[in-house]
Amino acid sequence: MTVIYDPQSTLFRVLLKSKGTILPLVIAKPTYWMLQIAQAILIMYDHNLMELCKEQGIKHLVYEHGCRLPPLDWSVVQLPASLLVFFVVFYGGNCYSRFYELWTHCTGLVNLTIEWAARLDIVFPGKENRELKWQAARLYMSGLTILFNMLGGDVTTDDPFKGHGIDEHEYEELQRLHLLTSDEVGALRNYYGVKPLIVVKWALATIQDHMDIIAPLRDRDDTMATYGDRFEGLAIDFQKRCVTIIMLIQQPVPFAYFHILKVQTLIVLLLIGYSVSSVFDEWFFASVAFGVICFVLLGLQEIAVAMADPFGDDDMDFETRQLLETTYINVLSYLREDFQVRSVSHVRHVPPNGLVNPLLLEGQSASQLFCEALFDSAKEEEAKEEPPPAFSKSQATRWNRNRSRRPRPPASDDLSYLAA
């Protein structure tokens, strides 16, 4: 689930938050604690060795800084540590680009679905075609629902290209949303391919079978060329994006790169832990320094891993359920709407509902008209001394800040200074 945050929050307010940060990602992993235990054992061994040297006077273990383990100079660790940072940043950048590419395709599918509904309403207008419009719209929307349900699982084991990835609960959900009938669900179960593609094919076939509604039989070919090609383009674009998303999820960063990154992380952090233990005389400072270094490097890798597969219930995953709800509500609302804008007057140049046609006001510039409307709105808002009670604290702060920036009406009717 996406964590909504205010980028203008103070530093300490941000630091006090834990949800959606790398803190639970790193703390929950055993790798972090194993590295801390390894360094703690090293510090205890070094301390016991120093005490043993003092008691027995073992001369060959006495070094420049006392009777301790041989120190590891930081310059030795600097090169592999720099390489590790480069590998981590490169891996994170690759996952970040992949993350937003997947998001672009997901939002593109939502846009295609809404555009599909809009074209249905244009080509088949009126209440008499509502049954046909819903028939084609529900099949197209079911393709989006099926895809997001599949992506919420494990597409590497339940291969969508072999017809897997949908369980019984998700089939029942499609029927409860009135998107698919029981017969269509049965046909979908027996389809051993990418399931969103076949329902979009059904939606396109529904439109092609009813083109005679908008054109006589003799003009059917011209009508198909004009409108059918547009619907076909939306269907093909939808199918291409579905396949692209599935293939991107199934092909992460090559395992060889991921493996060498983990090996290098383990070796470099162990070297850093040894080096830090020899730099600080106090075990507390050595533990804190090593803990921070491990936390940052492992945290960057965990963020990259989370972005590599942004479908599921993690804090950084896409809100696919919200996308489905938004699409469902907007498509239904759009197809239900039948309000028609009509003029209340048949007199020429008179817009409806008593509005003023700005094109006929030659004595006023566009900037003057805009500023006058802005000042009228500012006067109305000025009467509101306090933000609405339903506002949260952060919303109230933004409300007051925006209120202070609202323009004040000038003392005279001269509005020219605002035109600049």
Does residue 329 lie in a domain region?
yes
Clarify whether residues 50 and 127 are in a common domain: no
Residue pLDDT, tens place only, 83-106: 999 999 999 999 999 999 999 999
Same domain, 236 and 328: yes
Q: Which pLDDT does position 109 carry in this prediction?
A: 95
Q: Which residue has the higher pLDDT, 97 or 161?
A: 97
Same domain, 367 and 401: yes
Instruction: Please indicate, yes or no, whether residues 169 and 229 belong to a single structural domain of this protein.
Output: yes
pLDDT at position 282 over 90: no
Q: What is the pLDDT of residue 20?
A: 74
Distance of CA 17 to the CA centre of its chain: 20
The domain of 22 spans 18-71+267-296
Q: Is residue 220 part of a domain?
A: yes
Residue-wise pLDDT tens digits, 232-268: 899 999 999 999 999 998 888 888 999 999 999 999 9
Comparing 219 with 4, the larger pLDDT belongs to: 4
User: Is residue 306 assigned to a domain?
Assistant: no
Q: What average pLDDT does range 337-346 have in this prediction?
A: 61
- Residue 262 resides in a domain: no
Identify which of 28, 109, 15 has the alpha carbon closest to the alpha carbon of residue 318.
109
- Section 198-210 average pLDDT: 89
What's the sign of the alpha-carbon dihedral 96, 97, 98, 102? positive
Mean pLDDT computed over 309-328: 87
Whether 88 is covered by a domain: the verdict is no
Are residues 99 and 236 both part of a single domain? yes
Same domain, yes or no: 383 and 324: no
Least reliable range by pLDDT among 127-131, 352-356, 385-389? 385-389
pLDDT digits (tens, 9 = 90+) for 37-58: 888 888 787 776 666 666 665 5
Residue 147, pLDDT score: 92
For the cut 80, the answer to whether the pLDDT of residue 132 exceeds it is: yes
Q: Indicate whether 201 and 328 sit together in one domain.
A: yes
Domain-embedded: residue 281: yes
pLDDT at 43: 78
Does 24 share its domain with 104? Answer: no
Q: Average pLDDT for residues 157-162, to the nearest whole number?
A: 76
Query: Is 31 inside a domain boundary?
Result: yes
Same domain, yes or no: 107 and 214: yes
**Same domain flag for 34 and 178:** no
Query: pLDDT value at position 409?
Result: 46
Q: Are residues 104 and 234 in the same domain?
A: yes
Looking at residue 144, what is its pLDDT?
A: 93
pLDDT of residue 357 exceeding 50: yes
- Identify whether 10 is part of a domain: no
Residues 248 and 273 occupy one common structural domain: no
